[in-house]
Chain A
């Protein structure tokens, strides 16, 4: 019996090397667990039918040098894995089969990772609860009456529910960190461009990034290092070089944490985390990020603008759903009206609005200006501090259905996370305390941000904080 609850990449690797179990046995353990407990959580849209075949191939790659061979992973439904369905949890991609591998997938595949299946998500990664999926919702494994967060809710729930050892998500405004926080696991949004977006379905191209979920910071680090690097198929991808200066000072933007929208227990957990860092020998200082309160507004102009552009490719001609009209225009309108869910339609229209000639300057251009101000705010802050700390989300996971009728309430879930995407810096969410409601211990998360290419700082701080070494 493999202990799926406490397994890590390193533990599995050792067991595979020593022959304690085989790749096939490990994969089978997850398949059994998914069969037994997976239906209720509904983390997966599909468990691939070739998992054991993949496992047998991966067995040959098991070696002391290759930590990832045989590691079972779940992937978000918006990344391409050749020959397998991929659909961004949208009806408009009904029947679509990936014709090639995303670069991140290819790298993991070459290492011998075993892909268990594709996970549920908010349609085209738009949402903070996974309730915007066209294929039903995913439940939080810690409290089945609550959402797992989103948009990568299926990937977070898969790891938290022991239905995958690790998983991949994508993060445009918080879609890895917020579900990691709500499910009590670790989630990394890497530096913009550090992992290729080739083969990741585009949402907001200047914001999107692929990143890992795991139960430990070490596992997240292993996956990040395996996927990163410049890629000729993504001109915005970069090689990030990390240099190891000593980490001394951590900054807290106190002025941004005073709003009444933050749950008092989340704030308590956050204060406790600061005490812990002090005890670990770090200096905590107040910092000013003068424009951070505008982040969410900037995000809700730029992101829909990019969404409306990116989603114009779904026209019923090239792939997926097709609805027949009297002419081509009516084909478009019928296909898109039926194929896209409500949130996707809302953001496409919002994007079209802020990009329209009459409003372009007032909204889109203004948002670009404030984005530049934000970048310079952070550049200045990182002259004084090595990392910046905030809670990941303003409150623990909410009840299913609680925020579906109020888009602004849902958008506020991302208040602390969107800034890292706008600025392009890396950020990690690590478990930090609980809020007990109805006898359920709901996890809260701590977000650590560092400057471009300095994921190493996040890993060091995260491991110290969680007592990993």
Chain B
């Protein structure tokens, strides 16, 4: 239940029960990892480096705006409309 909330998912009571069963069996399966000894945790990003875009104008401003705004479900005057984040119900 807490996990569903943290994952930002609304689940029905029935599904929560089923999900708990599934999670228990999957975690029991992956528990076999605990029997592996040795080895070192590899640096995840060892072969990758952060790559930054050149600090320069890459394209004419606004040429993608309309397309990208169109994908959003709620928009207003060329902006994506979002409910207030601070000072809400919490």
Binding site for B on A (CB under 8 A): 96-97, 99, 206, 235-236, 291, 294, 296-298, 300-301, 308, 312, 315-322, 326-329, 331-334, 336-338, 340, 342, 345-346, 348-350, 352-353, 356, 362-363, 365-373, 375, 407-408, 411
Instruction: Determine the residue in chain B with the shortest Cβ distance to A338.
Output: B10
Q: List 24 A-B contacts (CB under 8 A).
A: A99-B64, A99-B67, A99-B70, A99-B71, A291-B36, A300-B29, A315-B8, A317-B82, A318-B80, A319-B72, A329-B90, A331-B83, A333-B5, A333-B8, A333-B9, A337-B9, A340-B9, A346-B22, A349-B9, A349-B19, A366-B33, A366-B34, A373-B39, A407-B22
Interface-central residue, B30, B40, B49, B82, by most chain A CB under 10 Å: B30
Q: Which of B49-63 contact A (CB under 8 A)?
A: 49-51
With A352-B3, A372-B41 known as contacts, the answer to whether A407 contacts B26 (CB < 8 A) is: yes
Q: Which residues on the A side are within 8 Å of B32 (C-beta)?
A: 294, 297
Is B88 a contact of A328 with CB atoms below 8 Å? yes
Majority SS at the chain A contact face? helix
Select one of A301, A332, A375 contacting B8, CB under 8 A.
A332
Q: Which of B31-45 contact A (CB under 8 A)?
A: 31-34, 36, 38-42, 44
Is B51 a contact of A235 with CB atoms below 8 Å? yes
Q: Which 6 A-B pairs have the closest CB atoms?
A: A337-B10, A322-B73, A372-B42, A235-B51, A328-B83, A319-B71
Is B26 a contact of A350 with CB atoms below 8 Å? yes
Q: Which residues on the A side are within 8 Å of B51 (C-beta)?
A: 235
Is B25 a contact of A369 with CB atoms below 8 Å? no
Instruction: Determine the residue in chain A with the shortest Cβ distance to B44.
Output: A368
Bound-state CA distance A356–B2 (Å) is 12
Is B40 a contact of A349 with CB atoms below 8 Å? no
Q: Which residues on the A side are within 8 Å of B30 (C-beta)?
A: 297, 300-301, 363, 367
Is A236 a contact of B36 with CB atoms below 8 Å? no
Interface-central residue, A294, A349, A408, by most chain B CB under 10 Å: A349
Q: Which residues on the B side are within 8 Å of A294 (C-beta)?
A: 32-33, 36
Is B50 a contact of A235 with CB atoms below 8 Å? yes
Is A349 a contact of B71 with CB atoms below 8 Å? no
Residue count of chain B within 8 Å CB distance of chain A: 49
Is B33 a contact of A349 with CB atoms below 8 Å? no
- Tally the A-B contacts, defined by beta carbons under 8 Å: 143
Instruction: Determine the residue in chain B with the shortest Cβ distance to A339.
Output: B9
Q: Which residues on the A side are within 8 Å of B9 (C-beta)?
A: 333, 336-337, 340, 345, 348-349
Bound-state CA distance A372–B67 (Å) is 42
Is B22 a contact of A362 with CB atoms below 8 Å? no
Q: Which residues on the A side are within 8 Å of B6 (C-beta)?
A: 352, 356
Select one of A96, A300, A346 contacting B71, CB under 8 A.
A96
Is B7 a contact of A327 with CB atoms below 8 Å? no
Q: Which residues on the B side are within 8 Å of A318 (C-beta)?
A: 71-72, 80
Complex interface bits, B62-90 against A, C-beta within 8 A gives 1, otherwise 0: 00100110111110000010111100111
* Whole-angstrom distance between the Cβ of A433 and the nearest chain B Cβ: 30
Instruction: Determine the residue in chain A with the shortest Cβ distance to B49.
Output: A235
With A340-B9, A345-B11, A349-B3 known as contacts, the answer to whether A99 contacts B68 (CB < 8 A) is: yes
Is B73 a contact of A328 with CB atoms below 8 Å? no
Bound-state CA distance A332–B36 (Å) is 39
Q: A296-B29, A328-B82, A329-B88 known; 20 other A-B pairs, CB under 8 Å? A: A99-B70, A236-B48, A297-B29, A297-B32, A300-B30, A317-B80, A327-B89, A328-B85, A329-B89, A337-B11, A345-B9, A345-B15, A346-B23, A349-B4, A349-B7, A362-B34, A366-B33, A368-B42, A369-B41, A370-B36
Instruction: Determine the residue in chain A with the shortest Cβ distance to B25.
Output: A408
Instruction: Determine the residue in chain B with the shortest Cβ distance to A318.
Output: B72
Is B41 a contact of A365 with CB atoms below 8 Å? yes
Q: Which residues on the A side are within 8 Å of B42 (C-beta)?
A: 368-369, 371-372, 375
Is A408 a contact of B82 with CB atoms below 8 Å? no
Q: Which residues on the B side are within 8 Å of A317 (C-beta)?
A: 72-74, 80, 82
Bound-state CA distance A298–B44 (Å) is 14
Bound-state CA distance A285–B24 (Å) is 39
Is A369 a contact of B39 with CB atoms below 8 Å? yes
Instruction: Determine the residue in chain A with the shortest Cβ distance to B50.
Output: A235
Select one of B29, B40, B84 contacting A408, CB under 8 A.
B29
